[in-house]
A = this chain, B = another copy of it.
Amino acid sequence: MSLPLWIAAWALLLHGCAAGRAPQAPSTRSDIRDCSAEPPYLPPTATNSTARLAVLRGILRTHGVHAYIVPSTDAHMSEYISERDARLGWLTGFTGSAGTAVVTRDKAALWTDSRYWTQAERELDCNWELQRTTSIESIATWILKEVPAEGNVSLDPFLFSIDTWNSYSRALRGSGRTLLPVETNLVDQAWGDQRPPPSSSEIYSLPAEFTGSRWQDKVAGIRQRMEQHARRPTAVLLSGLEETAWLFNLRGDDIPYNPVFYSYTLLTNTTISLFAEQSRLSQEARQSLRSGCPGPLCVELQDYGQVSAHLRRYAQGNVTVWLGTEYTTYGLYAIVPQEKLLEESYSPVMTAKAVKNAHEQEMLRAAHVRDAVAVIQYLLWLERTVPHGQVDEFSGAQRIDAFRWAQEHSRGPSFESISASGLNAALAHYSPSNGSSRTLSAREMYLFDTGGQYLDGTTDITRTVHWGEPTPLQKEAYTRVLMGNIDLSRLVFPSNTAGRTVESFARRALWDVGLNYGHGTGHGIGNFLSVHEWPVGFQSNNVPLEAGMFTSIEPGYYQDGDFGIRIEDVALVVEAQTEHQSGEKPFLTFEVVSLVPYDRNLIDLSLLSPEQIRYLNSYYERIRAHVGPELRRQQLEDEYVWLQESTEPFAVSSAGSAAAGSLALAALLSVLLSGLGA
């Protein structure tokens, strides 16, 4: 669900960096299209979109539409989408995760960010203009040029956020063009029976041992928040898929990597309506939901498609509907009259879910211990096999997935593994594909950003390693990224501090020498839910940090065409012990729950302060204490030895020249003094 937001920060910054590039000269590469050639050249990876466009344009004419906007997300603003919702991909051939297409009666264009420009040139045919930006302003300007005055610009309001709708609306205002919501999706009409069917797999109850609390208690908690709110909302509308999954302790597999299912919930002060395909619910799940019937804890099951009609009826009463504007679609939002809406960035379910209770914290910690075992197995395996030149990015990614699958409670990867060697790692979100994958080598750095779904928790970790001789710049950059990770992880800060006001601590060591990275510094994470879980994190639309929240901390550095570094850990926000205390609430700090050592080969200890080294040593002690016994339990003796070696404490005296000199001098002095005494 977080893609449009989380990715937006990457896109924005990456776009910023790339904006100054000169337009490309006609290409001589055979893997990308060349539409200026005669005849146009298309690589085999391109999709022929002519027939699809023709069908869609016929439909546009029927509806009196002059331009149709097609986004990349689904009706729940999901980060990952099902094949059935891959409308942009079907229409254009472009398979990147973020983009917007606009089709007019005679033109078609695709907007995407710099991560995907090359990919788009490989996948689009010459029906499509590629627009190297993602700004709505750019899309709107193009539309104003291509659509006649008095023309209709149309979109499916159930696929656009409130903000995006408003941006288009503002941009077209006063131009004579009308922004026309059409509730039937026109791409779906064109797609017809070729469109994949809806998922029919089971929606199941999470076993009690893996839930933080009973769904009835969660519902009671949300109703309490409703009562305590000054506006006294009568209902909460949930459209984020993990909202419903979390609230009812249900899971499904409609979306890759995220164990959720298509659903909406309307929770009122007296009733509960869950909109999902009833037949897909397991018997146990159905029993659980119906256990409070009749009564205020009875869940009425309704068809997924009924949500709009039901909400429309409900909104006719004397009601106030609370919803999260960051991820509710304009389509749903527009159903409720303005004065009956309680608009906040996030629903109370989102904010309740963000603060993990003691049991959820314990589960996430436990999942990270097993996850560390898998990552350590992978690191040792790489150390042994990379020198033989038999691992490539793709087989590496398969291997770590396999290590994770072997761990207890595993339910597979939590996102598409990033496994990137050498220059590929400079593309911050690179994922290898079978067949076009770089071989890992002791001469290059290797970055892997991977995570697992476990019944008790979701994990996400990035390590960057070098098995040979790193360059001075690689070592300096790695060390500074690590210093940033440490500086943010050990930061003590007041309760209720916004993440965006502290994320620069993860950058300062890089900034000091003129380096930086073009993406966000972290995101929340769920208990067997989304790997990018809003609203926790370090961006401007995240909520303030509170004890019990989990966030990733992931500074990086990317040297274009050369190498990439990222060091990512998941950390729990905990109360700090401070000498004094301003304010009524204890200060906070982080407890890092990812438990995998960093690459000693890449650390320049002389750059670290004594405080940073002491922090590192205490972190390594915790790794030993938590992961060591688990490695033994799993009889992974080699890994155990590897862990001991990799977590040897660093000498604090190595930090800085002054301190190092001090210890050396002291040693020398004691020799001299003993000599004098003799």
Contact = CB atoms under 8 A, between A and B. Distances in A.
Interface of A: 16-17, 20, 137, 141, 173-174, 230, 338-340, 473, 491-494, 497, 500-505, 508, 510-517, 540, 576, 578-584, 587, 609-610, 653, 656, 658-659, 661-663, 665-666, 668-669, 672-673, 676
Contacts of A141: 230
Contacts of A174: 339-340
Given A504-B501, A658-B610, A659-B658, A581 B494 contact: no
A583 B516 contact: yes
B514 A582 contact: yes
Contact of A661 (B493, B512, B666): B666
A137 B595 CA distance: 45
A513 B578 contact: yes
25 contacts: A17-B584, A137-B230, A141-B230, A492-B511, A492-B512, A494-B511, A494-B516, A497-B504, A502-B504, A504-B504, A504-B505, A511-B587, A513-B579, A514-B579, A514-B581, A515-B582, A516-B582, A540-B540, A610-B656, A653-B658, A656-B659, A659-B662, A662-B662, A665-B665, A672-B672
Contacts of A340: 174
Contact of A20 (B502, B510, B584, B672): B584
A668 B673 CA distance: 11
Number of copies: 2
Contacts of A659: 656, 658-659, 662
Contacts of A20: 584
A252 to B, nearest CB: 38
B508 A491 contact: yes
A587 B508 CA distance: 12
A491 B503 contact: no
Nearest to A338: B173
Contact of A500 (B500, B510, B609): B500
A665 B658 contact: no
Contacts of A512: 492, 578
B658 A662 contact: yes
Nearest to A513: B579
A610 B657 CA distance: 11
A539 B502 CA distance: 13
Contacts of A230: 137, 141
A143 to B, nearest CB: 13
A659 B20 CA distance: 46
Nearest to A502: B504
A309 B16 CA distance: 43
A17 B501 contact: no
Contacts of A497: 504
Contacts of A491: 508, 511
A661 B661 CA distance: 10
A215 to B, nearest CB: 32
Given A517-B582, A610-B658, A672-B672, 19 more contacts: A17-B583, A20-B584, A137-B230, A174-B340, A492-B511, A494-B511, A500-B500, A501-B501, A510-B582, A514-B576, A514-B581, A516-B583, A540-B540, A610-B656, A658-B658, A658-B662, A659-B662, A668-B669, A676-B676
A586 B579 CA distance: 40
A667 to B, nearest CB: 10
Nearest to A579: B513
A656 B611 CA distance: 11
A173 to B, nearest CB: 5
Contacts of A583: 16-17, 516
Q: What 7 A-B pairs have minimum CB-CB distances, sorted nearest first?
A: A514-B578, A174-B339, A662-B662, A658-B659, A514-B580, A665-B665, A516-B582
Nearest to A517: B582
B514 A587 contact: yes
Contacts of A610: 656, 658
Contacts of A579: 513-514
Contacts of A494: 511, 516
Contacts of A676: 672, 676
Contacts of A339: 173-174
A502 B500 CA distance: 9
A663 B662 CA distance: 7
A572 B315 CA distance: 55
A502 B510 CA distance: 14
Contacts of A502: 504
Contacts of A658: 610, 653, 658-659, 662-663
Contacts of A493: 504, 511
A638 B513 CA distance: 42
Contacts of A508: 491, 505
A580 B476 CA distance: 11
Contact of A665 (B500, B653, B662): B662
Nearest to A577: B514
B665 A515 contact: no
Report which residue of A494, A578, A609 has the largest number of chain B beta carbons within 10 angstroms of its beta carbon: A494
A673 B672 CA distance: 9
Given A338-B173, A504-B493, A665 B669 contact: yes
A658 B665 CA distance: 11
A515 B579 CA distance: 9
A491 B507 CA distance: 11
Nearest to A589: B511
Nearest to A560: B582
A340 B504 CA distance: 39
A658 to B, nearest CB: 4
Contacts of A662: 658-659, 661-662, 665
A514 B492 contact: yes
B669 A513 contact: no
A582 B562 CA distance: 14
Contacts of A137: 230
Nearest to A339: B174
B501 A503 contact: yes
A511 B514 CA distance: 26
Nearest to A17: B583
Contact of A672 (B505, B580, B669): B669
